[in-house]
Amino acid sequence: MLSVLRARPHYRRMLIGNTISQLGDWLSYVAVSLLVTRSGEGGVALALVYVAHTLPNALAAPLAGVLADRHDRRRLMIGSYLACALLTGAMCLAADAGAIWALQALLFARAGVSAVGFTARQAATPSVVERRELYAANALNSLIWSVLFTSGVALGGLLSAAASPTAVIALDALTFLLSALAVWRLPPLPPAAPPPGRAAADEGARGAAGGGLWAAWGLARRDPRLLAALLAKSPAGAMTGAGWIALNLLAAAHAPTPADAALAVGAAHAARGLGTGVGPLLLRRLWPTSVSGPTLLALAALLCFLWAPSRWSALAALVVWGMGSSHNFVRSSATLQLHAPQEALGRLTALDFLFFTTTQSALALLTGLLLDLGAPLSAGVYASMALALMGVALLRRLEGAPRGRALS
């Protein structure tokens, strides 16, 4: 990972820009959650904080994928950062006025704009590193995400307790401007054109290069390995949606003061973030190609967290949960970047996150709705686990299917 960082200056600039913006995101992640929790709006309102971070990725996927396959990816990244800075500034004003639902709406819009930049960055990665470096580049992304998440949510809790959630959101707006400056010096990163000499057998892939998400889906269905990479994040996403609600509520359940609740939520998120950093490093040899194994590990860890007898065992379960889900994320992303036709990678990346974020958002909303209807917290978590097990069964079928056999 260090050799990739030293040898690939364009990748390094992209990473620096993403690092700065992510740190701000995680600072405000806790701040917005605390504002909604303190407002007393209920389980659905809390779930909508998570949905506002995730669902826009799905809604923006058709546009984000097409833009990344047709326009300069450097310009898309810069434009996304600048637009997010403006929207986060408006979030700060809404938070200061106590307009919780306006804050949610602005966060939703910002996440949609951010999805365009994310898709462009993922699609540009194979252009700035070698093919053999793709797993290392994605693992480095995950490690930095982990460090930022761990430090960002903990720092977000501290700053929200010491200053105010509104001040934390204002700091987040500044990070987007710094991120735009970091990627400004990148060279043009236009999408790849279909190779002119592609064999007749790949005629369908050449057609997919000019279509939308449906054409990219048809391309993936012809290769079980590619299809498994596209669907790999969805079972883990189902557990993440329900688990996020459980994590926030259980971590803050016995806190005597709002400041203690902020610190407890930050520590719980930090424990899971720690697992996401070490997961791709420790589990790569155990599951070098499979994504179903790490998903089952994450499922078992979430169950242990739900019924943990002590605070320390709960934190340990969160670490293992993060390990399984992050290895799944890195392995599926690297497989997609390695085997997908480059001229369709933007739309395939968009599809990847459409499936992932849709399952996350749906299970978070279901868990919040069940809570508001009087059901126990475990009901939503168990429902997510059942769906995850069905998804793992499909992934195992795809992992064992011969190439060229479409999904039936």
**Strand, helix or coil at 167?**
helix
In this structure, the number of other CB atoms found within 10 A of the CB of residue 141 comes to: 24
Domain residue spans in the chain?
Answer: 2-189+211-399
Backbone dihedral angles phi then psi of residue 323, each to the nearest 5 degrees: -60, -50
CA gap 247, 47 in Å, rounded: 12
In sequence order, the 6+-apart residues with CB closer than 8 A to the CB of 292 are 392, 395, 396, 399
Tokens for 240, please give them: 């993440």
Count Cβ neighbours within 10 Å for each residue of 298-311 and write b for 16 or more, e otherwise. Answer: bbebbbbbbebeee
Residue 333: which of 94, 136, 62 has the closest Cα? 136
Residues 92/35, Cβ–Cβ less than 8 Å: no
Residue type, 192: A
The pLDDT value recorded for residue 401 is 61
CA gap 282, 300 in Å, rounded: 17
Residues 272/36, Cβ–Cβ less than 8 Å: no
What is the chain's pLDDT, residue by residue, as a tens digit (408 residues)?
Answer: 778 888 889 999 999 999 998 888 877 777 877 777 676 655 666 677 767 777 777 778 778 888 888 889 999 999 999 999 999 999 989 888 888 778 888 988 998 898 899 889 988 888 888 888 888 888 888 788 778 877 777 777 778 777 778 888 888 899 999 999 999 989 998 886 655 554 433 444 444 445 677 788 888 888 888 888 888 888 988 888 888 888 877 876 767 776 677 677 777 877 887 888 888 888 888 888 777 888 899 999 999 998 888 888 988 999 999 999 888 888 888 888 888 887 788 888 888 888 888 888 888 888 888 888 888 888 888 988 999 899 888 888 887 665 544 443
CA gap 336, 341 in Å, rounded: 9
Residues 242/290, Cβ–Cβ less than 8 Å: no
Q: What is 2-189+211-399's CATH number?
A: 1.20.1250.20
Reading phi first (left if > 0) and then psi (alpha if -120 to 50, else beta), residue 199 is in: beta
Give the max Cα distance, the chain. 68
Residue 227: which of 395, 400, 408, 57 has the closest Cα? 395
CA gap 384, 106 in Å, rounded: 28
Backbone dihedral angles phi then psi of residue 293, each to the nearest 5 degrees: -60, -55
Reading phi first (left if > 0) and then psi (alpha if -120 to 50, else beta), residue 139 is in: alpha
CA gap 12, 301 in Å, rounded: 34
Residue 233: which of 110, 372, 57 has the closest Cα? 57
